[in-house]
Structure 1
Amino acid sequence: MTADRHGYPMSDTGAEALAHYEQALDDLLFFRPRIAETSEAVLAASPRSVLGHSLAAYLGVLGTEEKDAAAARDRFVRFRAGLDTERLTPRERMHVAAATAWLDGDLYGAGRTLGDLTIAFPRDALALFAGHQHDFLTGDAQRLRDRVGGALDAWDGDDPHHGPLLGMYAFGLEESGHYERAEEVGLAALAQHPGDVWGIHGVVHTYEMRGRFTDGIRFLDARTDDWSQGSLLTVHNWWHYALYSLEIGATDRVLEIYDAALHHDASAGAAMELLDAAALLWRLYLAQDDQSARWSRLADAWENRQDGPHYAFNDAHAVMAYVGAGRFVQAQRLVRDRETWVAAESAVSNRAMTAEVGLPVCRALIAYGQHDYDRAADLLLPVRHRLNTFGGSHAQRDAIQRTLVEAALRAGRADLARTLLSERIQLRPVCPYTWSAKARLEEQLGDPARAAAARERAAAQASA
Structure 2
Amino acid sequence: MSLRDCQAWKDAGLPLSTTSNEACKLFDATLTQYVKWKNDKSLGGIEGCLAKLRAADPSFAMGLAISNGLVLMGTGTSVKLDKDLDLAVKTMVGLSQTQTLTPREQLHVSAVEMFAKGYVKGIYAFGLMETNFYDQAEKLAKEALSAEPTDAWSVHTMAHIHEMRGEYEAALTIYDNHCKAYCCLTPSPGLFFLSPGVSVGQRWQAVLPVTKKHTRDHTLLFNDAHFLMASLGARDLQTTQELLTTLQEASKSPEENCQHQLAKDVGLPLCQALVEAENGNPDRALELLLPIRYQIVQIGGSNAQRDVFNQLLIHAAITCTSSVHKNVAR
Instruction: State whether TM-score is above 0.5.
Output: yes
Tell me the CA shift for residue 321 of structure 1: 1.0
Among 192, 202, 214, the alignment partner of 1:281 is 192
Among 321, 333, 337, the alignment partner of 2:230 is 321
Cα distance in 2 for partners of 1:340, 1:220 equals 42
Residue type of the alignment partner of 2:258: S
Contact 2:144 2:154 survives alignment (8 Å) = no
Cα distance in 1 for partners of 2:304, 2:19 equals 36
Tell me the CA shift for residue 336 of structure 1: 0.7
Tell me the CA shift for residue 57 of structure 1: 4.0
TM-score of the aligned structures, taking structure 2 as reference length: 0.65
The superposition leaves residues 15-66 of structure 1 with CA deviations (integer Å, 9 ceiling, x where unpaired) of: xxxxxxxxxxxxxxxxxxxxx999x9999615257544212445xxxxxxxx
State the partner residue of 1:394. Answer: 303
Cα distance in 2 for partners of 1:217, 1:158 equals 22
Contact 2:215 2:224 survives alignment (8 Å) = no
Among 236, 240, 255, the alignment partner of 2:157 is 240
Residue type of the alignment partner of 1:394: N
State the partner residue of 1:217. Answer: 138
Question: Counterpart of 1:228 in 2: which secondary structure?
Answer: coil
Contact 2:190 2:308 survives alignment (8 Å) = yes
State the partner residue of 2:125. Answer: 203
Cα distance in 2 for partners of 1:210, 1:244 equals 9
Tell me the CA shift for residue 367 of structure 1: 0.8
Pick closer, same or farther for the CA change 1:208–1:343 going to 2, 3 Å.
closer
Q: CA RMSD in A?
A: 4.3
Residue type of the alignment partner of 1:346: E
Identity of aligned residues (%): 20
State the partner residue of 2:176. Answer: 259
Pick closer, same or farther for the CA change 1:211–1:57 going to 2, 3 Å.
same
Residue type of the alignment partner of 2:187: D
State the partner residue of 1:184. Answer: none
Tell me the CA shift for residue 207 of structure 1: 3.8
Contact 1:295 1:324 survives alignment (8 Å) = yes
In structure 1, stretches of 5+ residues that fail to align are 1-11, 13-35, 59-75, 93-124, 133-147, 164-192, 422-464
State the partner residue of 1:300. Answer: 209
Question: Counterpart of 1:223 in 2: which secondary structure?
Answer: helix
Tell me the CA shift for residue 226 of structure 1: 3.6
Residue type of the alignment partner of 1:253: A
Pick closer, same or farther for the CA change 1:220–1:298 going to 2, 3 Å.
same
State the partner residue of 2:32. Answer: 53
Contact 1:239 1:280 survives alignment (8 Å) = no
Pick closer, same or farther for the CA change 1:161–1:406 going to 2, 3 Å.
farther
Cα distance in 2 for partners of 1:363, 1:218 equals 39
Cα distance in 1 for partners of 2:249, 2:221 equals 14
Pick closer, same or farther for the CA change 1:237–1:274 going to 2, 3 Å.
farther
Residue type of the alignment partner of 2:287: D
The superposition leaves residues 268-302 of structure 1 with CA deviations (integer Å, 9 ceiling, x where unpaired) of: 44xxx221111111101xx2433241112212322
Tell me the CA shift for residue 378 of structure 1: 1.5
Pick closer, same or farther for the CA change 1:387–1:52 going to 2, 3 Å.
same
TM-score of the aligned structures, taking structure 1 as reference length: 0.48
Cα distance in 2 for partners of 1:159, 1:349 equals 38
Pick closer, same or farther for the CA change 1:210–1:196 going to 2, 3 Å.
same
Structure 2 matches for 1:10-409, cutoff 5 A?
Answer: 45=23, 47=25, 50-58=29-37, 87=42, 195-197=117-119, 199-207=121-129, 209-210=131-132, 212=134, 215-229=136-150, 231=151, 234=152, 236-263=153-180, 267-269=181-183, 273-284=184-195, 287-344=196-253, 346-409=255-318
Residue type of the alignment partner of 2:303: H
Question: Counterpart of 1:319 in 2: which secondary structure?
Answer: helix
The superposition leaves residues 331-381 of structure 1 with CA deviations (integer Å, 9 ceiling, x where unpaired) of: 122101111222235332321133332222111111111111111111112
Residue type of the alignment partner of 1:252: E
Question: Counterpart of 2:25 in 1: which secondary structure?
Answer: coil
Contact 1:205 1:395 survives alignment (8 Å) = no
Cα distance in 2 for partners of 1:43, 1:362 equals 49
Tell me the CA shift for residue 316 of structure 1: 0.6
Residue type of the alignment partner of 2:140: F
State the partner residue of 1:440. Answer: none
Report 1 or 2 for greater relative contact order, CA contacts < 8 Å, sequence distance ≥ 6.
1
Pick closer, same or farther for the CA change 1:221–1:345 going to 2, 3 Å.
closer
Tell me the CA shift for residue 413 of structure 1: 4.9
Residue type of the alignment partner of 1:223: A
